[in-house]
């Protein structure tokens, strides 16, 4: 079976939303019961689920400060240097996102504005199990800290030693996070949302996870805020530049295919020979790769090579997909301004998607499954709240009051109108 088929642009049908949005009643029921168990049995349910799914008998849900410090001390100097530079880059980028309170005072004495405050307490989920993601920890903690969040709890699945991965735990130490829990799955989300004897509840949960974690976040939304419901990772490479080495295209497609079997990988090119080369090259090298089974299923199920008539048609297709990652390898870079729907846009031959995952500075928690049509990457703004500030003057109320009262009466809300008119009575 050919790993990736070539499709003409006019024949391409974007089916991702329908596939992922399909109801999974069994998953929903399982997660719902998990949440009920955690709410009813608290810590005992967390211990039981951890034993059942992680094969670990926990004596304590919370990682001790000494274990965090020990993990930090065990980070090799060269590895620590990598993390230190990544943290520097990511912190520098996110500081520019910090919103500040503002207000305007008018001639009549009225003051209007917004009061910007950090969320008091957030929970960050860091995936574990088949893989570990210290980059996820950094990408979630730094914007929360820059926003001024005073209380940050981290939950990550335990390994056989009962602790999250040593690099995840060690980076918590580097970032000054001392509230870390050995918890994964839907039960971790439930514990963060509703709290237990050992875990104080949070007000917002961020961080990606598997389908159980995503479904749990969906079900607790409303009780707490969430960042998004993450779907499988995606990449669209848009190409028409003959100066780009073609193996760049191949390797960049593989960056997403190796994530998981549901990852979506797409090349849009205007050149038939490029489409054929990439198709054949993938056939050659995928069997030689360490994650060949995952990559093969990703490409077979969700891989596409799309042959566009021209770059403008390619951009239209890209905007329709609204991918998580869009790599732009085209001759006329002025056309980048026509890209409206993409979570992150990587421009030019030196901007492989990998630099954004780890080092460049922008956040790698990016909307998936078409959500880039309306959503944005995780940012400092996700950890801030904006309260409207209204300080009316007597002069303005008396000038506008009757209009306001009549507006209220148009909606058949006489008490609203009376509240205004009461203030307009002649003062004693």
Q: What are the tens digits of pLDDT across the range 193-239? A: 999 999 999 999 999 998 999 999 999 999 999 998 888 889 999 99
Same structural domain, 246 and 339? yes
CATH number, domain with residue 17: 3.40.50.1980
pLDDT at 22: 46
Tokens of 156: 């990550």
- Helix residue ranges, H only, 353-413: 353-358, 394-410
Residue 251 CB coordination number (10 Å): 14
Distance of CA 192 to the CA centre of its chain: 17
Same structural domain, 220 and 259? no
Percent of the chain with pLDDT over 90: 89
Same structural domain, 262 and 214? no
Same structural domain, 291 and 307? yes
Same structural domain, 242 and 222? no
Domain assignment of residue 192, yes or no:
yes
What average pLDDT values come out for the chain (428 residues) when binned by 10 residues? Answer: 81 64 80 98 98 94 98 97 97 97 98 98 89 90 98 96 95 98 98 98 95 96 94 94 96 92 94 96 94 93 95 97 97 97 97 95 94 96 97 97 98 98 82
Same structural domain, 117 and 62? yes
Domain assignment of residue 387, yes or no:
no
Same structural domain, 210 and 69? yes
Question: Which of 31, 148, 60 has its CA nearest to residue 101?
Answer: 148
Same structural domain, 75 and 222? yes
In angstroms, the CA 324 to CA 339 distance is: 13
Entry field: residues in the chain: 428
Match 């009575």 to its residue by tokens: 425
Tokens of 37: 């168990």
Residues 388, 390, 393, CA angle at the centre, nearest 5°?
170
Domain assignment of residue 27, yes or no:
no
Domain assignment of residue 46, yes or no:
yes
The single-letter DSSP state of residue 112 is E
Same structural domain, 345 and 221? no
Which of 226, 258, 278 is where one domain is finished?
226
Domain assignment of residue 1, yes or no:
no
In angstroms, the CA 118 to CA 126 distance is: 21
Same structural domain, 308 and 288? yes
Evaluate whether 4 touches 295 at the Cβ level (below 8 Å).
Answer: no
In angstroms, the CA 342 to CA 373 distance is: 7
What's the first-to-final CA gap in the chain, in angstroms?
89
- As to burial, measured by CB atoms within 10 angstroms (0-12 exposed, 13-18 middle, 19+ buried), residue 25 is exposed
pLDDT at 244: 96
- Helix residue ranges, H only, 180-322: 185-194, 211-220, 246-257, 272-285, 292-302, 311-321
Tokens of 133: 């993601």
Which helix (H) or strand (E) covers residue 390, if one does? strand 384-391
Domain assignment of residue 33, yes or no:
no
**3 state DSSP class of 269:** strand
pLDDT at 8: 86
398: CB partners within 8 A, 6+ apart: 424
pLDDT at 132: 75
**3 state DSSP class of 329:** strand
Residue 76, domain extent: 42-226
Same structural domain, 84 and 120? yes
pLDDT at 9: 78
Residue 386 CB coordination number (10 Å): 12
Same structural domain, 255 and 354? yes
Domain assignment of residue 34, yes or no:
no
Domain assignment of residue 152, yes or no:
yes
Match 């980059």 to its residue by tokens: 135
Which of 170, 195, 226 is where one domain is finished?
226
Q: Give me Rg for the CA atoms of the chain.
A: 26
For 264-279, the pLDDT digits (tens) are 999 999 999 999 999 9
Q: What are the residue numbers of the active site?
A: 324-325
Which of 170, 202, 226 is where one domain is finished?
226
In terms of DSSP bridges, do strands 121-125 and 151-156 run parallel, antiparallel, or are they unpaired? parallel
pLDDT at 131: 66
Query: In total, how many domains does the chain have?
Result: 3
């Amino acid at each position: 079976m050919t790993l990736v088929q070539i499709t003409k642009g006019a024949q391409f049908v974007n089916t991702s939303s329908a596939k992922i949005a399909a109801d999974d009643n069994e998953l929903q029921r399982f997660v719902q019961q998990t949440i009920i168990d955690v709410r009813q049995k608290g810590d005992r349910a967390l211990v039981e689920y951890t034993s059942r799914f992680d094969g670990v008998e926990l004596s304590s849900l919370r990682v001790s400060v000494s274990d965090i410090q020990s993990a930090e001390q065990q980070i090799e100097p060269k590895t620590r240097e990598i993390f230190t530079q990544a943290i520097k880059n990511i912190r520098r980028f996110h500081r520019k996102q910090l919103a500040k309170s503002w207000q305007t005072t008018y001639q009549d004495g009225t003051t209007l504005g917004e009061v910007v405050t950090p969320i008091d307490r957030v929970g960050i989920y860091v995936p574990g199990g088949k893989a570990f993601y210290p980059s996820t920890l950094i990408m979630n903690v730094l914007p929360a800290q820059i926003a001024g969040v005073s209380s940050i709890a981290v939950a990550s699945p335990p390994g056989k030693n009962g602790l999250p991965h040593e690099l995840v735990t060690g980076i918590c130490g580097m970032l000054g996070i001392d509230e870390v829990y050995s918890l994964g799955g839907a039960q971790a989300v439930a514990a963060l949302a509703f709290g237990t004897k050992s875990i104080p509840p949070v007000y917002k949960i961020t961080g990606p996870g598997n389908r159980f974690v995503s479904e749990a976040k969906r079900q607790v939304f409303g009780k707490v805020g969430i960042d998004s419901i993450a779907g499988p990772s995606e990449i669209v490479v848009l190409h028409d530049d003959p100066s780009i080495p073609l193996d760049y295209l191949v390797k960049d497609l593989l960056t997403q295919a190796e994530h998981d079997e549901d990852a979506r990988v797409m090349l849009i090119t205007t050149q038939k020979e490029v489409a054929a080369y990439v198709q054949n090259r993938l056939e050659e090298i995928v069997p030689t790769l360490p994650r060949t089974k995952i990559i093969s299923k990703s490409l077979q199920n969700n891989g596409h090579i799309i042959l566009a008539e021209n770059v403008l048609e390619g951009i239209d297709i890209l905007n329709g997909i609204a991918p998580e990652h869009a790599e732009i390898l085209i001759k006329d870079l002025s056309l980048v301004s026509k890209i409206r729907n993409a979570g992150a846009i990587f421009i030019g031959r030196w901007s492989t998607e990998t630099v954004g995952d780890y080092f460049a500075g922008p956040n790698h928690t990016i909307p998936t499954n078409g959500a880039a049509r309306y959503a944005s990457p995780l940012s400092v703004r996700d950890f801030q709240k904006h309260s409207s500030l209204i300080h009316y003057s007597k002069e303005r109320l008396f000038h506008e009051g009757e209009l306001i009262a009549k507006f209220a009466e148009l909606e058949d809300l006489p008490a609203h109108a009376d509240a205004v008119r009461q203030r307009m009575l002649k003062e004693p």
